Amino acid sequence: MLLVNKADLLPISIRKKWAEYFHKQGILFLFWSAKAASAAMEGKIPTISQEAGDADTKIVGREELLVRLQSAAEEIVLTRNRSASVGGGPSHAHRANENLAADVQSRSVMVGFVGYPNVGKSSTINALVGEKRAGVTSTPGKTKHFQTLVISPKLTLCDCPGLVFPSFTSSRYEMIACGVLPIDRMTEHREAVQVVANRVPRKIIEDVYNISLPKPKPYESQSRPPTAAELLRTYCASRGYVAASGLPDETRAARQMLKDYVDGKLPHFETPP
């Protein structure tokens, strides 16, 4: 099952496109927001864009997710065990299926949460457990070891450390911009900020930060994104960020802008391939 966290940051139109894509690919998925679920448990009313009657784009709540996880896990176990028991004849297979069903109902199923660092695995588990049991921080790599948490006699959750597969990743700077690698430890800030500048439209950046970016030169493409240098210097000037050297404190500005991007303050939505 693919759990799409931070789905509350996605417009309904984008969720619809991804839902259609997942259906075509045969991917079991759910839209989810660990932040909204935690807020709901604290008695706060999260602001989530929902569309009545559209189950595909619905952002599920804590109770529904627990039920779906339990149901999906039990079905997977039954399917695998049925495959392993094939070959004993119809009557034997029938008895085996009955025994397997009873066995699955009587024992716990473990569900592991696997994904990139800093995508909300531990936050999701804390929301499902109902209290802070797994360490959470905005810095990737907080979870160092596997941790199992018993939700009920039939369901156990496993919090896994974040995984990065080099052959499937983009550039290092894209991973920094997405929060997969620690923002506070980056040494080359302009390259990561350029990723954000290339993805977020100029007008949105100006509106979010209430700044006016330098316009492209007459001989340049008028639709080009701002350069990282233009963006950082303009941001520093608007916020008064000055380093000890007297130059704009681009490192401080870059960290703040990248965190805003990860948190959804600077919106960017990927559409299906």
* Class of domain 172-263 (CATH, top level): mainly alpha
Is residue 150 over pLDDT 50?
Answer: yes
> How far is residue 121's CA from residue 115's CA, in Å, rounded to a whole number?
7
User: Is 143 exposed, middle or buried, given 0-12, 13-18 or 19+ CB atoms closer than 10 A?
Assistant: buried
Q: Tell me if 2-46+54-79+103-159 shares its fold with 172-263.
A: no
Contact predicate 269/11, CB 8 Å? yes
What per-residue confidence (pLDDT) applies to 137?
Answer: 44
What pLDDT, in 10s, does the model give residues 234-255? 999 999 999 999 999 999 999 9
Measured CA to CA in angstroms, residue 78 lies from 35, 96, 107, 124, 273 at distances of 33, 11, 12, 26, 33
Q: Out of 3.40.50.300, 3.40.228.10, 3.40.440.10, 3.10.20.600, which CATH number does the structure's domain 2-46+54-79+103-159 have?
A: 3.40.50.300
Q: How far apart are the first and last CA of the chain?
A: 20
Give yes or no for residue 266 having a pLDDT over 80. yes
- Looking at residue 11, what is its pLDDT? 92
| pLDDT of 136 over the 50 cut | no
Closest CA to 189 of 231, 223, 226, 225: 231
Strand pairing report for 147-152 and 155-159: antiparallel
Mean pLDDT of 195-208: 96
Predicted pLDDT of residue 231 = 97
Distance of alpha carbon 202 from the chain centroid: 24
Q: What is the percentage of the chain residues whose pLDDT exceeds 90?
A: 41
Q: How far apart are CA 78 and CA 190, in angstroms?
A: 51
Strands 109-113 and 155-159: parallel
pLDDT tens, residue by residue, 14-32 = 999 999 999 999 999 999 9
**3-class secondary structure per residue, the chain:** CEEECCHHHCCHHHHHHHHHHHHHHCCCEEECCHHHHHHHHCCCCCCCCCCCCCCCCCECCHHHHHHHHHHHHHHHHHHHHHHHHCCCCHHHHHHHHHHHHHHHHHCCEEEEECCCCCCCHHHHHHHHHCCCCCCCCCCCCCCCCCEEEEEECCEEEEECCCCCCHHHCCCHHHHHHCCCCCHHHCCCHHHHHHHHHHHCCHHHHHHHHCCCCCCCCCCCCCCCCCCHHHHHHHHHHHHCCECCCCCECHHHHHHHHHHHHHHCCCCCCCCCC
- Report pLDDT digits (tens) over 162-175: 777 666 667 888 88
Answer whether residue 185 shows pLDDT above 80.
Answer: yes
Q: Is residue 135 pLDDT above 90, yes or no? A: no
How do the domains of the chain map onto residue ranges? 2-46+54-79+103-159, 172-263
What pLDDT, in 10s, does the model give residues 57-112? 999 998 899 888 888 777 877 777 777 666 555 555 555 555 555 554 446 678 88
Q: Position of tokens 């008064």?
A: 240
pTM metric for this prediction? 0.76
Per the CB < 8 A criterion, the answer to whether 4 and 30 are in contact is yes
- Contacts of residue 14, Cβ cutoff 8 Å, sequence gap at least 6: 269, 271
Q: Tokens standing for 239?
A: 């916020």
Q: Rounded CA gap, 204 and 187, in Å? A: 27
